Structures are given as structure tokens and as C-alpha cells.
Amino acid sequence: MHVTFSDDELAFRDDVRAFFRDEMPTDIAKKQAQGVPLEREDHIRFQKALFNKGWAGINWPVEYGGTGWTTVQKYLFATEMANANAPFIIPFGLGMVGPVIYTFGSEEQKQRFLPDILESNVWWCQGYSEPGSGSDLASLKTRADRVGDHFVVNGAKTWTTLGQHADWIFCLVRTTTDVARRQEGISFLLIDMRTPGVTVKPIITIEGGHEVNEIHFDEVKVPAENLVGEEGKGWSYGKVLLQHERTGNAQIAVTKYRLSKLRAQVARPVRGAAPLADDRNFMRKVAATEVEVKALEFTELRTLAAVASGKAPGPESSILKLKGSELQQAVDELYLEAAGYYALPYVPDQYVLDFPDADRVGEGAETRSSLRYFNYRKASIYAGSNEIQKNIIAKHVLGL
């Protein structure tokens, strides 16, 4: 398949390329190059720069401040963003709760929440998984009992990514237990993280980072006006959100960038040794991964076309999530193999190299290759485990 672009599309691509080259803060670009984790304010500064350019609501409808981009423009933007090694856009506001609010929320909720989400004035996090409910999300037990004009929330959410930074959390909560199906009686609730009774407890992951958290709710009073849509319909809203999340989690443009970067690195002799590109077995693995990435890219383009026509991503998003996460992990393994024994030291703070950049193999300091490898074991679990995605594909795509 050969993709060609019109003059207008090429001009758009050049505009995006110039933005990332000239307007991305230099300190953020340097951190990205060295593999240094960004701080909360780094992410906010970057996203506000996108907002000021009018590029924050990539998939949002124009009436709510969205870009109105075509499928091709979204593809070009994602490609140039990856090639610039720009930070990822924190998805919980712009990519997840925002679409739920503008699709199912009241006019008051749209006016109250959407402008701050679009401008990245408010940091959101996701409250889905629980200590006893992960892939089987319908078994969630966090309760929200209606008391007058409030809900009183009790329970816990876990694996809450970047919840330590969040101002608000969107949660699936059980508002009714007397139901025929577990998916019924679940509601979609917006909760201010500053509300008394909300406690955030860090979870330190295997590579030593504080990325996820456990959040506890103890008699937390939430105004009933923070209920999105109808009470008991949260499962339907949550599924739409997960389809958007799974589409974004494919990270195909980033995977393509990492593969091209790896090819360039292994083509150079390193510390007097022959270039790894001379190893035909290793390069065969690289080529096989590139072929799979290209095939998945076309599936992503079809999904983006559906979104551009006003549809939710649909069950095809499960294909993107399944194969996308597998390919991310495959590239992690290639980087780890390329770094060899230089990836062995388990030193999370080793971000500055003691040898020239030209001799670099891996991402940032070579230790980062192993740290990323460990961290991204999670990719096959979040947004619904890959086993769950296979069931969805079998039922809704293959009709089995």
C-alpha cells in the first residue's frame, strides 16, 4: 500500500514539524533525549503549548474546541510528534473523560469541565480497576450511595496512573446492587481529589518508579450533579472511554520512531566492536517487527477514519491495543538485546552517559533499556488485558 499526500497535507506536515522543532521547550526536549522522566509541570507546559496552537483537542468535535482535523492530518501529527520525540499527551482528560463528558454529559457539565480539560488546567486520573477487580471490571465493589443531593462513596481504586498529580478522578462506581447483570447498576462519577476522605497511597513499580497509586474513598461526599449521564448507565459510558483508550495505547507512531532510531544506532560501530547491524539474526528480528508495525498502521488508519466520521473507535480498537502492546514489548526486547550487558546495572538515576552520544545504544542511559523493559510489561494488561481483547475480537469482530 502506497500513501501519498496532497500539497495541503504536506504543508500541514511541515507546520507540525516546525512546531516541534521550534516551539517545544528546550529543557523538555533535553529530558526526552536523555530518558529523564518529566515532572507534572513539564507535561502541563507542553500541553498548554499545544492548546495555544489550537492543537489540544485532536479528536474533539470543533464545537467543543477540537481541531477538526482529517484522518490524514491526525496521522501526520502523530508521526511528526513521535519523530520529534515529544512527550506523550496525558490521556486521562483530553483522551478519556473529555469525550465522555461531551458525548453523555449535561450542558452544565460541558461548560464546567471541558474548557479546563482542553487547556490542561486540571489534571485528571482514572478510577476503574480495584484491588479485587481488574480485567473483570464488572465485579467492582466501590459503592456510591445516594443521600439527598449527594452520593457517599466508599471503596478503593488501584493502578491509578499518575494519580498523585491529579486534581479530579473519574470513577466507575456501583450505585445499585439489585441487578440481573453485574454490568447494570454501575454509574460514572466525577470526584474532586481534594474532597475529605480521599487518600492516595503510592505503588512503587518493579523498575523503581512511582507511576501508579491506590486511592481510597472513606465516606466521600460527591454532589449528585457530578453524575455523568443516567444513573446505572456507567458501564456503557465506560466502554466508549475504553475504546478511545485502547486506540491511543497502540502508540504505533512511537513504535515506528523507536525502530528507526534503533536501526540508526546498531548501524554504528560501538566501542571498537563491529556494528550490531552485521548480525543477520538480530536484523531479521528488526525487519519482522517492522512488517508487523506497518500492517497494524493500516488498521489504525481505518479506525481513525471511523472516528473522523463521528463514530466511536469500535471493537477494532481491541486489535490496536492487543497488537500495539505486543509490538511495544517486542521493541523493548530488541533494545535490551542491543544494549547487551550494558543494560544490566539497575541504577534508576543513571541518566547521564559517561561516554559520547555517538556510542549510545539503548534509550537515554543504557540502564533505561532494562528499566523500560520491566515497566512496559504492564502494556499487555492496562486498558483491559490482552486476553480480554482476544475475547472482544472473537465476539464483535469475528462473530464467534
Look up the CATH number of the domain holding residue 254.
1.20.140.10
> What integer best gives the mean pLDDT of the chain?
86
Task: Please indicate, yes or no, whether residues 222 and 271 belong to a single structural domain of this protein.
Answer: no
Asked whether residue 206 is assigned to any structural domain, the reply reads yes
Q: Per the structure, how many domains does the chain have? A: 3
Map residue 302 onto helix, strand or coil: helix
Asked whether residue 100 is assigned to any structural domain, the reply reads no
Q: Which of 232, 266, 284 is the last residue of a domain?
A: 232
Residue 265 to residue 353: CA distance in whole angstroms:
15
Residue 352: the pLDDT is: 45
Residue 314: the pLDDT is: 65
300 is catalytic: no
Residue 92 to residue 90: CA distance in whole angstroms:
6
More confident residue, 304 or 127: 127
Asked whether residue 2 is assigned to any structural domain, the reply reads no
Task: Please indicate, yes or no, whether residues 26 and 158 belong to a single structural domain of this protein.
Answer: no
Task: Please indicate, yes or no, whether residues 154 and 195 belong to a single structural domain of this protein.
Answer: yes
Map residue 186 onto helix, strand or coil: strand
Residue range 358-384: mean pLDDT, rounded: 68
Which of 130, 245, 363, 366 is labelled catalytic?
245
Task: Please indicate, yes or no, whether residues 276 and 392 belong to a single structural domain of this protein.
Answer: yes
Q: For residue 180, what is its C-alpha cell? A: 440481573
Q: Which tens digits make up the pLDDT trace of 314-362?
A: 667 788 888 888 999 999 999 989 888 777 755 554 444 444 444 444 5
| Angle value at C-alpha 124, between 370 and 254, nearest 5 degrees | 40
Asked whether residue 101 is assigned to any structural domain, the reply reads no
Residue 150 to residue 145: CA distance in whole angstroms:
8
Give the range of the structural domain holding residue 129, as residue numbers without chain letter: 123-232
Look up the CATH number of the domain holding residue 210.
2.40.110.10
Most confident of the ranges 115-119, 179-183, 372-376, 393-397: 115-119
